[in-house]
Structure 1
Amino acid sequence: MFEASVYKNRRKELKERMWEGLVLILGNGEAPANYKDNTYKFRQDSSFLYFFGLNMPGFAGVLDVESGKEYLFGNDVDMDDIIWMGPQPKVKELGASVGITSTRPFAKLAEMLQQAIAEGRKIHFLPPYRYRNMLLLEDLLGIHHSLLKQYASVELIQAVVALRSVKEACEIEEITKACNIGYDMHTTAMRNCRSGIKEQYITGLIEGIAASYGSMVSFPVILSQNGETLHNHNHSQILQKGRMMLTDAGAENNMNYCSDFTRTVPVDGKFSARQKDIYNIVVRCNNKALELSRPGVTYLSVHLDVCKVLAQGLKDLGLMKGDVNEAVAAGAHALFMPHGLGHMMGLDVHDMEDLGQIYVGYDAETRPVNQFGTSSVRMGRRLEPGFVVTDEPGCYFIPALIDQWREKGMHKEFLNYDKIETYKDFGGIRLEDDVLITEEGCRLLGDRRIPITIEEVEEIMG
């Protein structure tokens, strides 16, 4: 937990951005795995963490915009809880630790909200993503759970996004810690990438590192020798010589800040000539994003420029043809990279995605593009100092997609399908780093960069 002043300042800024009414921010509760007392590992709501700092279940916070008053709702533990959990701090003590002096039992939350509704006051809340909180909001506000997202406060969403997008120095320090855990995870995966090893074994190793040094993985580990499947959570295969292993994994540290890295390495540690050709194209794409990312530039434009580097590299290998700029404008490159360059990162690995990507990754100036591949861009808006984004270009040979496009004759003026056909057994490559936008440009996060060049990868893999 940060010092109380951090949370007090954040709440003050939030109230200053709101016009009137009550701001309600719900924390999360425990989530049963297969029966009530056997729960999943608790994960607090990130906006509640950001403004109220308490990483424990069963709390809610309310800010009164007009009066400036702040309230924390939660229940003190009883003797039965103490027997099973040990002594716990009182809600009043917890409130004081984050700068709140007015605390009340959780049951009093409904009374406050009902009184405000009766007085015609606006209740601002964020769109819920957990069913428990959907049902709770339905009870508290009388809005059917199926309609809650329609009634969520756009004013509050925009205010929260504005504050959480620009990371404070204390946040950068925590993200750096998560990145350092990510370094250990990925270098461990590299050293264990040997033929005959099961993917699940390496997955377990790096999940254990995240648990040992931090809180947990920041998302379910993606690790597979079928790298052409973008988010492959099936870890059942035995690694085979001649294949490449794609690992997309990150850590969430004890303060719940995240990292997110991807590396693709050859099984047994040596790239083939063909693998080197494609790999070096993706390295150039990754470096191009670092070169271009700076305040005032839209990340959508960076994405498109990176796609031109990809297309040029593939053209040089005879996989694409024609004018590179025209090919990217037409979307032909998306056969090989059907996703965006990156996303925001912070307390969520896809930061604030629960609030709606249209508010997080876009704004009134930069809008989503309705084109295959480019429509998957999560982060398109202008970059600002303090933003943390991922830089994750890739190149994939997806047999089903290749077959579909070829059958339909899609972009045949830009795609050499005969040559592409010979790469259908290639797999996929993605290289991802975590990047802080600075006043001058950008810099990588983490004390050490995870090996990325062919020479670095082959050296660490021995």
Structure 2
Amino acid sequence: MFTKETYVSRRNRLKKQVGSGLIVLLGNEQSSMNYKDNWYHFRQDSTFLYFFGIDRAGLVAVIDVEANAEVIFGEELTPDDIVWMGPQKSIREQASEIGVGLTKPLATLDSYFQHALAKKREIHFLPPYRPENLLKLSSWLQTAPASIKSMASVPLIKAVVAQRSIKTPEEVAEIEKGINTTVEMQIAAATLARAGMTEAELAGQLQSIAIKGGGNLAFPTILTVNGQILHNHYSPTVLQEGQLVLVDCGAASATHYSGDLTRTFPVSSSFSAKQKEMYAVMMTAYEQAVAMLKPGVKYKDVHLQACTQLAEGLKHLGLMKGDAQEAVAQGAHALFFPCGLGHMLGLDTHDMEDLGEEYVGYAEDQTKSTQFGLKSLRLARALEPGFVLTVEPGLYFNPDLIELWSAEKVHADFINYEQVAGYKDFGGIRIEEDFLITPEGSRVLGNPLPRNMEEFRQFAR
């Protein structure tokens, strides 16, 4: 948790931005795995954490803007709870620590809403992503569940995004804790990887490092020799000599701020000539993208520049042809890079995306593309000091996609399918770093982790 003053200041700013009505922020519930009392690891809602900081299940916070009043609703522990969980701070004690003086039983919330509805008060809430919270809102607002998401408050969404997008120095420090643990995870992956072990064995080692770091995984680890599949998680697949291992992992700090780093390395002691060529193409795109990071630059332009550089590199290797900029404009490069260059990072690995990409990653005058590849760009808006984001170019040779496009002669003016056919078994490569946008430009966050392919392998060994 941060200081009481931090949370009070955040809520005061939120009240000013929203202006009127009731602001309702729902915490998360425990979620059962396979029977009621066997729970998944609890994860509090990030916006609730941002404004109230209490990492406890079953809470709802209501801010009355006009009355300048704040209430936390929840049920205190029973003797049975204490037997199973041990002594815990009361909700009243926890509320006092973050500057909230009033708590009430959760059971009284229904009548609270009825009173507000009778007075025709405006009720602001965020789009629910958990079904239990959707059903709660449906009951409290006396509205069908199917209508709830469309009733989410745009003024509240915009106010939350405006605050959470700009990371304070204390937030950056927490993010770097997560990144530094993630650096340890990446080093361990490259150090421990051996032919004959499974992806799952290696991924298990990484999770232990995340837990040892004081938090846990920020997201399920992507660790695979099939890097051509963008979000391919670890499996019983056995590592073999000559394969590339793509490791995209992140640790969360104890306060849930996330790190997110990717490295790709060979199972064997060195890269093959073909792997070196592709790595060099990817790294040039990465370097050009990083050089563009500064306030005022649209991240969409950074993405397109990286795509153009990837196309230029592939053209040099004979896999693409024609004008690289035109190839990118038409989306031909997406055969090899069918995703976006990066995303915001913070309390969520894809920060605030539960609020809607159109509010988080795009300005009001920007429209998200429907083009294959470009439609997956999560962040397009102009960069501002205080943004924390990822830069993660890659090259992916998905044999199924290659066969489909080749059969239909998609973008045949820009793609040399005869040459591409020789890369169907290549897999995928990616590098990813986390950056803070500063008034002067940007800085990479966290402890050093080599980017050069040979350097990284030797460093880890």
Confirm or deny: 8 A CA contact 2:26 2:48 kept in the other structure: yes
Measured after TM superposition, the shift of residue 268 of structure 1 is 2.2
Measured after TM superposition, the shift of residue 234 of structure 1 is 4.2
Measured after TM superposition, the shift of residue 338 of structure 1 is 0.1
**What are the equivalent positions in structure 2 for 1:276-425 lying under 5 Å apart?**
276-425=276-425
1:171-208 deviations in Å (ceiling 9; x for gaps): 00000000000000011000112111111100100011
Whole-Å Cα distance in 2 between the matches of residues 320 and 431 of structure 1? Answer: 22
Confirm or deny: 8 A CA contact 2:270 2:454 kept in the other structure: no
Whole-Å Cα distance in 1 between the matches of residues 228 and 447 of structure 2? Answer: 30
1:305-354 deviations in Å (ceiling 9; x for gaps): 00011011111111111111111111111010000000111000000111
Q: Match of 1:185? A: 185
What is the letter of the counterpart of residue 44 of structure 2?
Q
Whole-Å Cα distance in 2 between the matches of residues 272 and 214 of structure 1? Answer: 38
1:244-270 deviations in Å (ceiling 9; x for gaps): 000111011100100111111011231
Whole-Å Cα distance in 2 between the matches of residues 153 and 166 of structure 1? Answer: 21
**What are the equivalent positions in structure 2 for 1:156-167 lying under 5 Å apart?**
156-167=156-167
Query: SS where residue 451 of structure 1 aligns?
Result: coil
Q: Which stretches in structure 2 are left out of the alignment for 5+ residues?
A: none
The runs of at least 4 aligned residues of structure 1 exceeding 3 Å deviation read none
Q: Which stretches in structure 1 are left out of the alignment for 5+ residues?
A: none
Q: Match of 2:68? A: 68
Q: Match of 2:123? A: 123
Query: SS where residue 129 of structure 1 aligns?
Result: coil
Measured after TM superposition, the shift of residue 144 of structure 1 is 1.6
Q: Match of 1:249? A: 249
Query: SS where residue 209 of structure 1 aligns?
Result: helix
1:138-173 deviations in Å (ceiling 9; x for gaps): 111112222211111111111111110101111000
Q: Match of 1:110? A: 110
Query: SS where residue 72 of structure 2 aligns?
Result: strand
Measured after TM superposition, the shift of residue 82 of structure 1 is 1.6
1:217-268 deviations in Å (ceiling 9; x for gaps): 1111111101101110241111011110001110111001001111110112
Confirm or deny: 8 A CA contact 1:73 1:109 kept in the other structure: yes
Q: Match of 2:42? A: 42
Query: SS where residue 61 of structure 2 aligns?
Result: strand
Q: Match of 1:452? A: 451
Measured after TM superposition, the shift of residue 408 of structure 1 is 1.1
Confirm or deny: 8 A CA contact 1:252 1:258 kept in the other structure: yes
- Distance change in 2, residues 1:202/1:234 (3 Å): closer
What is the letter of the counterpart of residue 459 of structure 1?
Q
Whole-Å Cα distance in 2 between the matches of residues 82 and 411 of structure 1? Answer: 64
Query: SS where residue 269 of structure 1 aligns?
Result: coil
Confirm or deny: 8 A CA contact 2:190 2:457 kept in the other structure: no
TM-score by length of 2: 0.98
1:6-58 deviations in Å (ceiling 9; x for gaps): 11000000000013110000000111111111100000000000000000101
What is the letter of the counterpart of residue 451 of structure 1?
P
Query: SS where residue 33 of structure 2 aligns?
Result: strand
Measured after TM superposition, the shift of residue 460 of structure 1 is 2.2
What is the letter of the counterpart of residue 456 of structure 2?
V
Confirm or deny: 8 A CA contact 1:269 1:457 kept in the other structure: no
What is the letter of the counterpart of residue 223 of structure 2?
L
Q: Which moved more, 1:299-308 or 1:225-234?
A: 225-234
Whole-Å Cα distance in 2 between the matches of residues 422 and 37 of structure 1? Answer: 52
1:77-102 deviations in Å (ceiling 9; x for gaps): 12111222222212211111110011
Whole-Å Cα distance in 2 between the matches of residues 173 and 461 of structure 1? Answer: 25
Q: Which moved more, 1:20-29 or 1:84-93?
A: 84-93
**What are the equivalent positions in structure 2 for 1:257-276 lying under 5 Å apart?**
257-276=257-276
Whole-Å Cα distance in 2 between the matches of residues 107 and 72 of structure 1? Answer: 12
Whole-Å Cα distance in 2 between the matches of residues 452 and 333 of structure 1? Answer: 23
Q: Match of 1:233? A: 233
Whole-Å Cα distance in 2 between the matches of residues 213 and 330 of structure 1? Answer: 45
Query: SS where residue 128 of structure 1 aligns?
Result: coil
1:257-299 deviations in Å (ceiling 9; x for gaps): 0011111101123101110000111111111111001100110
TM-score by length of 1: 0.98
Give the superposed CA RMSD.
Answer: 1.0
What is the letter of the counterpart of residue 184 of structure 1?
E
Whole-Å Cα distance in 2 between the matches of residues 211 and 175 of structure 1? Answer: 16
Q: Match of 2:26? A: 26
Confirm or deny: 8 A CA contact 1:269 1:461 kept in the other structure: no
Whole-Å Cα distance in 2 between the matches of residues 374 and 56 of structure 1? Answer: 39
Confirm or deny: 8 A CA contact 1:221 1:249 kept in the other structure: yes
What is the letter of the counterpart of residue 379 of structure 1?
L
Whole-Å Cα distance in 1 between the matches of residues 234 and 6 of structure 2? Answer: 41
Measured after TM superposition, the shift of residue 367 of structure 1 is 1.9
Q: Which moved more, 1:135-144 or 1:252-261?
A: 135-144
1:416-450 deviations in Å (ceiling 9; x for gaps): 111111111101001111111111111111022x2
Whole-Å Cα distance in 2 between the matches of residues 240 and 190 of structure 1? Answer: 14
Q: Match of 2:429? A: 429
Whole-Å Cα distance in 1 between the matches of residues 221 and 278 of structure 2? Answer: 24
Query: SS where residue 148 of structure 1 aligns?
Result: helix
Q: Match of 2:91? A: 91
What is the aligned length?
A: 461
Whole-Å Cα distance in 2 between the matches of residues 234 and 172 of structure 1? Answer: 29
What is the letter of the counterpart of residue 399 of structure 1?
P
Whole-Å Cα distance in 2 between the matches of residues 247 and 376 of structure 1? Answer: 21
1:79-135 deviations in Å (ceiling 9; x for gaps): 111222222212211111110011111112222211111000011110111111111
Query: SS where residue 371 of structure 1 aligns?
Result: coil
Measured after TM superposition, the shift of residue 366 of structure 1 is 2.2
Whole-Å Cα distance in 1 between the matches of residues 427 and 90 of structure 2? Answer: 54
Measured after TM superposition, the shift of residue 461 of structure 1 is 4.1
Whole-Å Cα distance in 1 between the matches of residues 214 and 185 of structure 2? Answer: 11
